[in-house]
Amino acid sequence: MFDMELVTSGLKPTPATPEALAAMEELGPGDYEIFSEKLNMILEEGKKVMTLMGISSMLHSGDTMAGLYTAEGDLVTTACGTYLHCVTGQIPVKFILRYFEQDPSVGVREGDVFYCNEAIYGGIHNPDQFAIMPIFHEGAIVSWVVVGAHQSETGGKEPGGEITTAVSRHDEGMKLTPIKIGENYRLKTDILMMMENFISRAPRMQVTDVKARVAACDRIRLRVQELAAKRGARFLSGLFRKMIKESEDGARKRISTWNDGVYRHVVFIDTTGAEASLLRVPIAVHKKGDHLTIDLTGTSPEHEGSFQALAPSVRAHCAVNLYQFPFHDFPISAGTMEPVDFIIPHGTIMDPDPEAAISCSPITASAVFPLLGVAISKMMYDSPQRDLVCGFCSSNSSAPMIACTNQHGAKVVDFMGFPLNAWGLSARHDMDGIDAFGFPHGPWGKGPDVEDIERAFPLLHLYQKNMPDSGGFGRYRGGNGVTIAYVVHKVPYAVFTATTKESKFPTHTGLFGGYSETVVPAIRVIETDAIAAMEDGTVRLADGDVDLVKDNPFGGSIVMEHQARPARVVHRGEIICSSTQGGGGYGDVLERPAVEVAEDVRTRAITRETAQRVYHVLLEPGTFTVDVEATDAARMEARRARLARARPYGEFMREWTQKRPHPQALKFFGSWPDAKPNREVIRI
């Protein structure tokens, strides 16, 4: 059963009732300021409870949230983690109210605990799991609490939950529509045992983290009931409505300061998960008055792979950008999205059939990050928000997932949190981007300590550092990503997967003349024993991916492949690398002062070769001092070469529109050049 109407409408706040509006008007001086902050602190406490009790790395790395919702299921406020889960957390609450509240076989009663991981009803993909509790006061529902976090195993055809070879939802493992897992404040053992059976690659992690989510819900439930006992249900209703209205009013006022128009951008994805191919995602942001319409018409059609996302996930990813940049200073609530509508054509990779594989949904839907980053930057440039002009980031993750029985004898399946949370932020209009800034889905994410990872997983970090030249070049340089190499040790083998794209084509193209970030291949070193080589004490350690590939200091075979990697076995002593993308650049490289380029070389943000070939800055041999005369001559020559290549717009377009990628790259693109469906997709 798929209630697509619910997931389409569920992200918008329910129209306020006259009673709620009257209660809002009854708030006294200071009530909104004091008690909205009190709710935020209650949620922070709940999220902390989950983090302390849970054991998987994603709980500790920040892919989490605790959210408070109205009695109707609208987001009031949240503690993040990631914005994604607080946005989609509205859907399962509204599902429960629509289908279970009046159903005597289920019902909604005080002390109930619900749970789900269904991508259509609350998740982004199967790994996202939510605990949900109604909050009662004097016999009636006054609120809901949802606590969510990514769980790195779903029991699918490959470990890790993000399954590059999945061809339908049936390959992706456990998918629970909202289900009651507890009554009278007691969890049901039979349900927990069912989950253990589904998640048999990591049963202890599953059950412990379920209990962590539920404990967080219950702590928040208790605190809200304490507040309701003091101030009453009507006060809460008015406070909730005020918090939603404040963010809606703020969003409308801000949008109205931008110039009306249509702002466009386009990006390309380079894999379906199972097969490298060019896919297109264009955007047109229509701005009129105080309203935005985000239109993804022209997106490539759906395919058999797992690199596609359901429309609610795409809307939530758009919210991630909006919450972080243009509306970063407003309360986080459903009201922010009230003036925003979407056009997401069904049958595309951004809204495939509900049976389509979507386990790599976040990697696909996050294509809207650079899309909105560039389109809204153009919109805000001539506005009081010029300081927020920034291409945001790429749309990758690069984090490998490890599955094995670890050195302590426990079965574990988990993401490596550091590369996940170490993307490069793009350059702004007035400053460089940030190296390894964090997790774009949730800026509160953090990189786990190396020691913590090595204690829990049989992985030795060969290196973990910023990666030179991985950010986009420009007047302002995009932030760099990172490069990491793991050596399997203490166990005979481990299985890893990776769900990364952008080995062939970047999704961030830079802003106002800035360069795109660098694409990076996936690297393995097999048929070697790096542990034994290091114990010997004579081997020179690699200083990064380039060093590792060029010198191959540990011997064995270097395997270069696409970053979207299905499950692979890595034996003891073999090496797997994980590199993350940087952010896009801003403006003309020839306008970057030569001394800043020299400083980039000194700090190893870029290489000498990039300084010379891209920025046309020459340094005195063996120093970081600019050769001014040679640099001026090189830049003058670069400008002459540009003028020699220049041609009238019409002439350029006549040639450009005749170009066409190789047919092999267009297998899943759709018809060329308009990307309309041109083949039948059959799922069994």
Task: Give pLDDT tens digits for 500-511.
Answer: 888 888 988 899
For the stretch 17-47, pLDDT in tens is: 999 999 999 999 999 999 999 999 999 999 9
Higher pLDDT, residue 296 or 580: 296
Residue 159 C-beta-side C-alpha neighbours within 13 Å: 22
pLDDT tier at 1, thresholds 50, 70, 90: low
pLDDT at 51: 94
- Quick one: which H or E segment has residue 382? none
Which pLDDT does position 4 carry in this prediction? 80
Between CA 241 and CA 305 the distance in angstroms is 42
For the cut 80, the answer to whether the pLDDT of residue 254 exceeds it is: yes
pLDDT at residue 5 in the model: 82
Averaged pLDDT, 591-608:
98
CA angle 477, 482, 487 (to 5 degrees): 165
Looking at residue 442, its pLDDT comes to: 82
Average pLDDT over residues 230-253: 97
State the average pLDDT over residues 352-377.
95
Average pLDDT over residues 425-437: 94
Element (H, E) at 294: strand 291-295
Rounded average pLDDT over 590-605: 98
| Side chain identity, residue 627 | D
Cβ atoms 263, 71 nearer than 8 A: no
For residue 303, the SS3 value is: coil
Domain boundaries, the chain: 40-234, 396-587, 589-646
Q: In this predicted structure, what is the pLDDT of residue 593?
A: 98
The pair of three-digit structure tokens given for residue 420, joined into one six-digit string: 């996940």
Mean pLDDT of the chain: 94
Q: Which of 234, 255, 439, 216 has its CA nearest to residue 335? A: 255
What is the structure's pLDDT at 58? 85
Q: In what order do the strands lie in the sheet with 564-571?
A: 411-415, 400-405, 493-499, 564-571
Q: Is the pLDDT reported for residue 585 higher than 80?
A: yes
pLDDT at 8: 80
Q: What pLDDT does 344 receive?
A: 96
State residue 420's pLDDT score.
86
Bridge partner list, 294: 285, 342
Q: What's the order of all strands across the beta sheet hosting 557-561?
A: 459-466, 482-488, 575-579, 522-526, 557-561
Question: Residue 563: CA atoms inside 13 Å, Cβ hemisphere, count?
Answer: 26
Question: DSSP letter string over 620-683?
Answer: -TTSS-B-HHHHHHHHHHHHHHHHHH---HHHHHHHHTT----GGGGTTT-STTT----S----
DSSP β-bridge partners for residue 523: 560
Give the pLDDT of residue 353: 94
Q: How many helices (H) and strands (E) does the chain have?
A: 20, 20
Contact in structure between 38 and 227 (CB atoms under 8 Å): yes
pLDDT confidence tier of residue 440, bands split at 50, 70 and 90: confident
Output the pLDDT for position 528. Answer: 96
pLDDT in tens, 551-562: 999 999 999 999
Residue 676 and residue 684: Cα distance in Å, rounded? 23
Token couple for 376: 């809204």
Averaged over 362-366, what is the pLDDT? 94
At residue 9, does pLDDT exceed 90?
no
Higher pLDDT, 215 or 10: 215
Predicted pLDDT of residue 347: 97
Omega before residue 673 within 30° of 0, cis? yes
Q: Is the peptide bond before 67 cis (omega within 30 degrees of 0)?
A: no
Report yes or no: 259 and 382 within 8 Å, Cβ to Cβ: yes
Angle at 80 between CA 75 and CA 82, to 5 degrees: 90
The predicted pLDDT at position 60 comes to: 87
Whether 166 shows a pLDDT value over 90: the answer reads: yes
* pLDDT category of residue 607 using cuts at 50, 70 and 90: very high
Q: Is the dihedral of CA 204, 205, 207, 209 positive or negative?
A: positive
Whole-number percent of the chain with pLDDT over 90: 86
Mean pLDDT of 510-526: 93
Neighbours of 329 (CB within 10 A): 8
CA 20 – CA 11 distance, rounded (Å): 19
**Tens digit of pLDDT for each residue in 467-495?**
999 999 999 999 999 999 999 999 999 99
At residue 336, does pLDDT exceed 90? yes
Give the start-end residues of each E strand in 128-211. Answer: 128-137, 140-150, 179-183, 186-187
Position 130 pLDDT exceeds 90: yes
- pTM of the full structure: 0.95
Q: What is the pLDDT of residues 88-125, one digit of tens each?
A: 999 999 999 999 999 999 999 999 999 999 988 888 89
